[in-house]
Amino acid sequence: MVENRPALTVLTHLTLVLGVVIVGFPLYVVVIASTQTAQDIVQNAPMSLWPGDSMAENYRVALWGGVLNNGGRVAPAWPMMAVSLASALIIAFGKIAISLLSAFAIVFFRFRFRTACFWLIFVTLMLPIEVRIGPTYSVVASLGLLNTMTGLTVPLMASATATFLFRQFFLTVPDELVEAARIDGASPMQFFRDHLVPLSTTTIAALFVIQFIYGWNQYLWPLLMTTNETMLPIVLGIKRLLTGGDAGTDWNIVMATAILAMVPPAVVVLLMQKWLVRGLVDSEK
Amino acid sequence: MGSLSFERVSKRYGQGARAVPVIAGLDAQIADGEFVVIVGPSGCGKSTLLRMVAGLEDVTGGEIRIDGRVINGLEPAQRDIAMVFQNYALYPHMTVFQNMAYGLRIAGLGSHEIERRVGHAAQILEISELLARKPRELSGGQRQRVAMGRAIVRQPKVFLFDEPLSNLDARLRAQTRLEIRRLHAELRTTTLFVTHDQVEAMTLAERMIVMNAGAIEQIGTPESVYERPASLFVASFIGSPPMNLLRNWAAPGAATGASTAAALRDVLGTIVPPNAVLGVRPEDAVIVDSPPFNGLWPLTVEVIEMLGAERLIHGRVGTEAIIIRQEASRPAPRAGQQVSLQISPSKLHTFDARTGRRVENAAD
């Protein structure tokens, strides 16, 4: 099957390099833009593809806020990043906890309408947040949860995908294991804590990565429900920077903020890479 | 300390008209310290019965008692039993020590007591050096031992084994069989062992319960079950190769008109009613070096299988197929040869053709 033809090898590598360039070039432009001054970016068309010398200044302003040469004020990014980090973590852990428990109930207990419950959860997969955002907003608003961390995270927590993933994993747990635990005297919650959760660690880790990024990248929901500066996540912060009014947009700061917003999810992926792949691919856990 | 009794125990799956009966009104008594093997073909209800003792299946009717205490409604952990599963069911994320200690930890024992019990069990089973390993790092035989260790540390009144040897290869199975016997001799804990393998049943049991279609066919020591099978089912299930059963010996032969009955008229005329089924163990028929005459069976040899220490001779008496087991040191007949068989009337089993039950014949 594996042929050793030089021409083919060259072609393969060219294709791969082309793919990397297509994916990597925009990112490169963002990084480069974040090292130049606003004037450099606007005046040179097209902008220079060589790094400028204002990198430290740009990132300092983006992160801590400040006043620019042209008089524009920039709000600091770090409180917004803190909001994003907190909400992404709460959403990820909340999703995992709720999905673990609901999958546990669906797989290991025999109750009335068990299958109906599963399908109800499963059907919500087909209703993304955009579809139900009106009612959700009205519920959260009438509960007085606008501009709170609870309001920002709780509506995003229930997850059919995660429940489904855990259900599929739990179905592979042999009956004899459950029975052995029963004979050992473990209560259902002890079985859950001592056996199911430890056995699910790879799945949990993989889900954490996915859900953290999901939470971090939330845009529409925070856009609707946060009006207060202190509850603004970083993704919305970037959007704020774009409406610069008369002063025009400070693209160098926008790009620096974009890079800052990319760092935490990238770190999570890098740290959990091994687990992510194992959790999604490995059937033998 | 650990007697076990079944009184009119029954099991149905489903309810009402669509209920499927699995076990119907079963009675048995197992004394303290006894090693009892339940044997039967798959689907006979033997595993269901064991799981009912363990508390993993509900009891539909009747009572199961351990030491006189009815355990029908108790949780598995409260029944004072321990079970070894067919696939061992070790907790894959726990070490051998944690596997064995888990039940004790749940029961709230102190860590000193847990260490003492696990250490002792590990010593008995010779797995002390494996305590820190995970199950996936163990061989099949070692996992089997850990599963037994997990049962031993609980110090239960009754051990339940659900076909624990069926995942082992033949050599290891024979070895583990011996170890289970040795273990039982040492601990003297009442043991209920389920298997479909009649060799396993014969070698392990102090008493065996032969089950078929949800009912007990026979209870007895391996010797008595082998020598005096209570029914056609037991006769054909216990023993390898199985007992020769002559069902149509009285019917006239198809082509030649020479029926088995005609050939055996002299031998059986007075002992056996013509509607009975005849049974002969393969080793109870002896080929003798003399022409057929009064008291001997005429056998036409068809195929000979050499097994090493012994050989199996397949042939026909009249129209009925028969297998004979013969020591390899004896002179072998040739295929196609006519020989004479000597079968002591006391070795002849007779069964009622209609009910399938054993008929005690006059010669006994």
Domains in chain B: boundaries: 4-237, 244-359
Q: Do A185 and B77 touch (CB under 8 A)?
A: yes
A169's tokens:
């994993």
- Could you tell me which residues come within 8 angstroms of residue B161 by beta carbon, excluding any fewer than 6 positions away? B83, B84, B180, B191, B192, B193, B194
Nearest CA in chain B to A175: B89
Q: Do A176 and B87 touch (CB under 8 A)?
A: yes
Q: What is the pLDDT of residue B354?
A: 86
B292's tokens:
């057929």
Radius of gyration of chain A (CA): 24
Length of chain B counted residue by residue: 364
Q: Do B102 and A179 touch (CB under 8 A)?
A: no
CA distances to B141, B263, B274, B275, B315 from B251, in Å: 52, 12, 9, 9, 18
3.20.20.80, 3.40.50.300, 3.90.1150.10, 3.30.460.10: CATH of B4-237: 3.40.50.300
Q: Residue ranges per domain, chain A?
A: 6-77+233-258, 79-225
Residues β-bridged to residue B305 = B312
Q: Do A186 and B102 touch (CB under 8 A)?
A: yes
CATH superfamily name and code, B244-359: Nucleic acid-binding proteins (2.40.50.140)
Q: How far, in Å, CA of B363 to CA of A277, rounded?
A: 76
Confidence grade of residue A275 (pLDDT, cut at 50, 70, 90): confident
Confidence grade of residue A285 (pLDDT, cut at 50, 70, 90): very low
E strands of chain B, at which residues? 4-13, 20-30, 35-39, 61-66, 69-70, 81-84, 158-162, 190-195, 207-212, 215-220, 244-246, 276-280, 285-288, 296-306, 310-317, 320-327, 338-343, 349-352, 358-359
Task: Indicate if the pLDDT at residue A1 is higher than 60.
Answer: no
- Tally of helices (H runs) and strands (E runs) in chain B: 9, 19
The arrangement of secondary structure in A79-225, i.e. its CATH architecture, is Orthogonal Bundle (1.10)
Rounded (10°) CA dihedral A212, A216, A218, A223: 150
Which helix (H) or strand (E) element contains residue A66? Answer: strand A66-67
SS3 state of residue A76: coil
A46 touches chain B (CB under 8 A): no
Task: Between A55 and B27, name the one with better pLDDT.
Answer: B27
With left for phi above 0 and alpha for psi between -120 and 50, is residue B107 left, alpha or beta? alpha
A86 touches chain B (CB under 8 A): no
Task: Kindly report the number of other CB atoms within 10 A of residue B3's CB atom.
Answer: 17
Q: Do B55 and A182 touch (CB under 8 A)?
A: yes
Q: Do B92 and A199 touch (CB under 8 A)?
A: yes
Write the residue in A183, A195, A199 that is nearest to B82 by C-beta.
A183
Tens of pLDDT, residues A236-259: 888 888 765 545 778 888 889 999
| CB of B2 closer than 8 Å to CB of B66 | yes
Q: What is the pLDDT of residue B271?
A: 61
| CB of A156 closer than 8 Å to CB of A218 | yes
Lowest mean pLDDT among A84-93, A267-276, B138-147, B151-160: A267-276
Q: What's the distance, Cα to Cα, between the start and end of chain A in Å?
A: 31
Nearest CA in chain A to B98: A194
With left for phi above 0 and alpha for psi between -120 and 50, is residue B312 left, alpha or beta? beta
Rounded (10°) CA dihedral B11, B16, B18, B21: 20
Contacts of A190 in chain B (CB under 8 A): 106
Query: Which of the residues A173, A183, A192 would you substitute to probe the B interface, choosing the one with the greatest number of B C-beta atoms within 10 Å?
Result: A183
Tens of pLDDT, residues A146-158: 899 999 999 888 8
Closest alpha carbon to B167 in B190, B195, B192: B195
Task: Kindly report the number of other CB atoms within 10 A of residue B123's CB atom.
Answer: 11
Closest alpha carbon to B315 in B329, B327, B325: B325
Write the residue in A176, A177, A190 that is nearest to B106 by C-beta.
A190
Q: How far, in Å, CA of B254 to CA of A148, rounded?
A: 95
Query: Which of the residues A184, A196, A199 would you substitute to probe the B interface, choosing the one with the greatest number of B C-beta atoms within 10 Å?
Result: A184
Q: Do B85 and A198 touch (CB under 8 A)?
A: no
With left for phi above 0 and alpha for psi between -120 and 50, is residue A219 left, alpha or beta? alpha
Task: Indicate if the pLDDT at residue A219 is higher than 80.
Answer: yes
Q: What is the pLDDT of residue A2?
A: 62
Is pTM beyond 0.90 here?
no
Task: Indicate if the pLDDT at residue A284 is higher than 50.
Answer: no
Q: Mean pLDDT, 10 residues at a time, over chain B (364 residues)?
A: 89 84 90 94 91 93 92 91 92 94 93 94 92 92 92 93 89 90 92 92 94 93 94 91 83 52 60 78 86 72 91 87 90 86 83 86 50
